[in-house]
Amino acid sequence: MNDLFELKEGGVCAPKGFRASGVHCGIRKNKTKKDLALIVSEVRAATACVYTTNLVKGAPILVTKENVKDGYAQAVIVNSGNANTCIANGVEIAEGMCSLVEQHTGISAKDVVVASTGVIGQKLSLDPIAGGMQALVGGLGDHSRDAAEAIMTTDTVPKEIACSILIGGKEVTLGAICKGVGMICPNMATMLMFVCTDAAIEPALLQEMLSADVKRSLNMVSVDRDTSTNDTMCVMANGLAGNPIIRKKDGDYKKLAAALHYITTDLCRKIAKDGEGATKLLTCTVRGAVSEKAARTIAKSVINSPLVKTAMFGSDANWGRVLCAIGYAGVPVDVNKIRVSFASDEGEILVCERGAGVDFSEEDAKRILSRDEIVIAVELGDGRYQATAWGCDLTYEYVKINGDYRT
């Protein structure tokens, strides 16, 4: 825990002026699972977004881009269970969801961020969403957990966090929810993440802050090397904390950026640990790279490797697979300088020094790698830059989940 931040309860509702709700409206056949979420701010909020880099994009992304091009929004509506992607009338449905928010809350449809997740290419009707709006809006309150549950697909647990920090003599709070445990190698964001804050900041600076942060956080998560068509991350800042508005990259900007990074990296770990079928959270730290980009590329290559992931599932200290992933990452390295070790709360063990194997106890390695959180530490010895990536092991259950996901 960073001494600058204080953890808070309440998720997206922890900052001043935000309410949330989540209900089952009928998109999912399972009536015990929520499938429609809403987050609203008391006032229009400076808003920044990042989206999937996949050329196949869900219609809500197109609508959201248009709605937030002025840098402001006031509400977020999300459905799960059926992705609004590759649907002939997808834009019409996305715009219809925004209009439903306006009809039931008075917030302009043009101030709504809309998102969708679930099976791709299945027909989606606006009818269940319209039918669920009264309950959704009626349930608005301190219900971040309900919203977090309503955006889940194959997630096994809801994901949320909140923290506060002093900026300009005022307590500024950030809260977030997210979902995503499959199709996670976005090079943009997670599947879906929504951050609310009561900080006052100009929209352009908020966008710059978010775009810089995802390079070190959300872009460094991988479950299965697949990029979703629906990835959207949104940050809304409504200014109700009363801090002097952040208009330049000063100390206050850096404090808020640090708090945002704390939020996003915490959720990155939660996403990776809850990866489809996963039993272990894998963290790859790369140090001594010639550039930050090189460090990020190598860390992501190791985390992405199916052979590394399966070795970690089997608690097998097969360090050669780590070197293999480093070698095909596309970054020039001096192999003779590479050092690799594995660590967990059971201890740390050196397995490779100067690009070659060293004697180690297989029994000790097995014990270390049998824990549910593993660190793969790589030292390159080529420079002064470093990066961290998060992933998970690859298990039989992952194949089972995705073998019959649609049916």
pLDDT for the residue numbered 145? 98
- Judge: domain 281-403, CATH 2.130.10.10: no
At 101, is the pLDDT very low, low, confident or very high (cuts 50, 70, 90)?
very high
**Residue 222 corresponds to which tokens in the numbers above?**
């991988």
pLDDT of residue 275: 77
Q: Measured in Å, how far apart are the chain's first and last C-alpha atoms?
A: 42
Place of tokens 């001494």: 3
**Would you give the DSSP letter of residue 219?**
G
What is the per-residue pLDDT for 26? 95
CB 18 within 8 A of CB 34: no
CA-only gyration radius of the chain, Å: 22
Task: Tell me the average pLDDT of the chain.
Answer: 92
Burial of residue 33, with CB atoms counted within 10 A of its CB: 0-12 exposed, 13-18 middle, 19 or more buried: middle
What is the arithmetic mean of pLDDT over 319-330? 96
Bridge partners for 236 per DSSP: 47, 196
Q: Does domain 6-273 have CATH number 3.40.50.300?
A: no
b/e code 118-148 from CB counts within 10 Å (16+ = b): bebeeebebebbbebbeebbebbeebbbbbb
Q: What whole-number distance in Å separates Cα of residue 395 and Cα of residue 193?
A: 25
Helices (H), 139-177: 144-150
Element (H, E) at 292: helix 292-304
Element (H, E) at 347: strand 347-353
If one counts every other C-beta atom within 10 angstroms of the C-beta of residue 236, the result is 30
Give start-end residues of each CATH 3.60.70.12 domain in the chain. Answer: 6-273
Query: Cα(357)–Cα(352) distance, rounded to whole angstroms?
Result: 4
The arithmetic mean of pLDDT across residues 52-78, rounded, is 90
Residue range(s) occupied by CATH 3.10.20.340 in the chain: 281-403
pLDDT at 27: 94
The residues assigned a catalytic role are: 190
176 CB-side CA count, 13 A = 27
- Answer for the pair 184, 230: CB distance below 8 angstroms, yes or no: no
Task: Provide the whole-model pTM.
Answer: 0.89
